[in-house]
Amino acid sequence: MDAPILLTVSIKPTEIARQAYNLETVERLPLRFYQETQTRSDPKPLTAIIETVNARLGSAMVLSSLGCTHQVSDVNNGNLESAYKKFGSMLEKVTEQLKVAEEVKAVDAGEVARRVLSTHFMRDLTGNLRAFAAQRFRCTKCNSKFRRVPLKGACTRCGGKLSLTVYKGGVEKYLTVAQDLVDKYNLGQYHTQRLILLKQEINSLFSETKEDKQPSLAQFV
Q: Are residues 183 and 107 in the same domain?
A: yes
pLDDT at position 213:
64
66 and 167 assigned to the same domain: no
pLDDT at 13 over 80: no
Asked whether residue 48 is assigned to any structural domain, the reply reads yes
Angle between helices 90-103 and 175-185 (to 10 degrees): 20
pLDDT (tens digit per residue) in 55-110? 888 887 777 777 888 888 887 787 788 877 888 887 888 888 899 999 998 889 99
Whether residue 167 is contained in a domain is answered as: yes
The pLDDT score that the predictor gives to residue 84 is 79
- pTM for this entry: 0.59
**What local confidence, expressed as pLDDT, does residue 11 receive?**
74
Tell whether 5 is covered by a domain: no
Q: Do 100 and 44 fall within a single domain?
A: no
Tens digits of residue pLDDT in 150-192? 888 889 888 888 888 888 888 888 888 898 899 889 888 999 9
- Is 122 in the same domain as 194? yes
CB distance 124 to 94 below 8 Å: no
180 shares a domain with 113: yes
Same domain (yes/no): 88, 161: yes
pLDDT > 90 fraction of the chain, expressed in percent and rounded: 14
Residues 29, 65 share a domain: yes
Domain tally for the chain? 2
Dist CA 94 CA 103 (whole Å): 14
The pLDDT mean for the chain works out to 84
pLDDT given at position 114: 93
Give me the domain span that covers residue 140. Answer: 84-204
Question: Within this chain, do residues 155 and 104 fall inside the same structural domain, yes or no?
Answer: yes
What are the tens digits of pLDDT across the range 19-49?
888 888 888 889 998 999 899 888 888 888 8
Instruction: For the chain, give the secondary structure using H, E and C.
Output: CCCCCCCCCCCCHHHCCHHHHHCECCCCCCHHHHHHHCCCCCCHHHHHCCCEHHHHCCCCCCCCCCCCCCCCCCCCCCCCCCHHHHCCCHHHHHHHHHHHHHHCCCCCHHHHHHHHHHHHHHHHHHHHHHHHHCCCEEECCCCCEECCCCCCCCCCCCCCCEEECCCHHHHCCCHHHHHHHHHHHCCCHHHHHHHHHHHHHHHHHHCCCHHHCCCCHHHHC
- Asked whether residue 215 is assigned to any structural domain, the reply reads no
Band of pLDDT at residue 212, cut at 50, 70 and 90: low
Please check whether residues 102 and 193 belong to one and the same domain: yes
For residues 138 and 113, state if they share a domain: yes
